[in-house]
Chains A and B, each alone.
Chain A
Amino acid sequence: MENQRTVADGIRLGLRALVYAVLGGAALLAIGTVVSVLGPMLALDLYTPPVAAWWTVFTAITVQGVPFLLLGTVVSAAIGAFVPERVFQRLLPRRTALAVPVAGAAGVVLPGCECASVPVAGSLMRRGVAPAAALAFLLSAPAINPVVLVATSVAFPGQPEMVLGRLVASLATAVAMGWLWARFGREEWLRPPKRPTAHEPGGGPRAFVSGLQHDFLHAGGFLVVGAAAAATFDIVVPTSLLEVFTGSAWLSVLLLAVLAVVLCVCSEADAFVAASLSGFSPTARLAFMVVGPMVDLKLIALQTGTFGRAFALRFSSVTWLVAVASSVLVGWWLL
Chain B
Amino acid sequence: MRRYGPAVLLALVGAAILRVSLFSDLYLRYVQVGLRPYLVVSGVVLVLLAVVVAVLVRTAGEQEDPEVLEDPENPDSHPGHTHGPAGPRVAWFLTLPALALLLFPPPALGSYSADREADRRAARGVGTFPALPAGNPLDLTLGDFGSRAVYDTGRSLKGRTVRLTGFVTRDAGGTWYITRLLVSCCAADATTAKAEVRGAGAPPVDTWVTVTGTWHPEGEPGSDAAWPPVLDATSVRRVPQPDNPYEKR
Q: B-contacting residues of A (Cβ < 8 Å)?
A: 35, 39, 43, 49-50, 52-53, 55-64, 66-67, 70, 74, 191, 194-199, 206, 209-210, 212-214, 216-218, 220-222, 224-225, 227, 230-231, 234, 238-240, 242-243, 263-266, 268-270, 272-273, 275-279, 304-305, 308-309
The interface residues of chain A, by DSSP majority, are classed as helix
Q: Is residue B217 within 8 Å, beta carbon to beta carbon, of the partner chain?
A: no
A-contacting residues, B83-121, CB 8 Å = 87-94, 96-97, 100-101, 103-113, 116-118, 120-121
Cα A59 to Cα B113 with chains together (Å): 15
- In the complex, which of the residues A43, A57, A220, A279 contacts B13, with contact meaning CB atoms closer than 8 Å? A220
- In the complex, which of the residues B53, B72, B90, B106 contacts A209, with contact meaning CB atoms closer than 8 Å? B53
- Tell me if B30 and A220 are in contact (CB < 8 A): no
Residue of B nearest to A240 (CB): B118
Which candidate, B42-50, B134-142, B160-168, is the interface stretch facing chain A? B42-50
- Tell me if A63 and B93 are in contact (CB < 8 A): no
- In the complex, which of the residues A195, A198, A269 contacts B189, with contact meaning CB atoms closer than 8 Å? A269
Residue of A nearest to B110 (CB): A49
Task: Known A53-B109, A66-B13, A269-B189; judge A60-B31 contact (CB<8 A).
Answer: yes
- In the complex, which of the residues A52, A199, A209, A275 contacts B123, with contact meaning CB atoms closer than 8 Å? A275
Cα A67 to Cα B41 with chains together (Å): 8
A-contacting residues, B117-131, CB 8 Å = 117-118, 120-123
8 residue pairs from A and B, CB less than 8 Å apart? A60-B186, A63-B27, A67-B35, A217-B88, A264-B188, A272-B249, A273-B191, A276-B123
Cα A272 to Cα B184 with chains together (Å): 7
**Most chain B Cβ neighbours within 10 Å, of A57, A227, A305:** A57
Q: Is residue B213 within 8 Å, beta carbon to beta carbon, of the partner chain?
A: no
Cα A49 to Cα B80 with chains together (Å): 33
Cα A57 to Cα B120 with chains together (Å): 20
- Tell me if B53 and A213 are in contact (CB < 8 A): yes
Cα A270 to Cα B87 with chains together (Å): 34
Q: Is residue B15 within 8 Å, beta carbon to beta carbon, of the partner chain?
A: no
Residues of A within 8 A of B10 (CB): 213, 216-217
- Tell me if B94 and A221 are in contact (CB < 8 A): yes
- Tell me if B78 and A63 are in contact (CB < 8 A): no
Task: Known A217-B87, A218-B91, A278-B123; judge A64-B53 contact (CB<8 A).
Answer: no
Residues of A within 8 A of B148 (CB): none
Cα A273 to Cα B109 with chains together (Å): 17
- In the complex, which of the residues A230, A275, A308 contacts B122, with contact meaning CB atoms closer than 8 Å? A275
Cα A196 to Cα B83 with chains together (Å): 10
Apart from A59-B106, A60-B188, A196-B72: 19 A-B pairs, beta carbons within 8 A: A35-B103, A52-B107, A56-B29, A56-B106, A63-B31, A64-B30, A191-B78, A197-B72, A217-B6, A218-B91, A220-B91, A220-B94, A224-B97, A240-B118, A268-B185, A273-B184, A276-B191, A277-B120, A309-B79
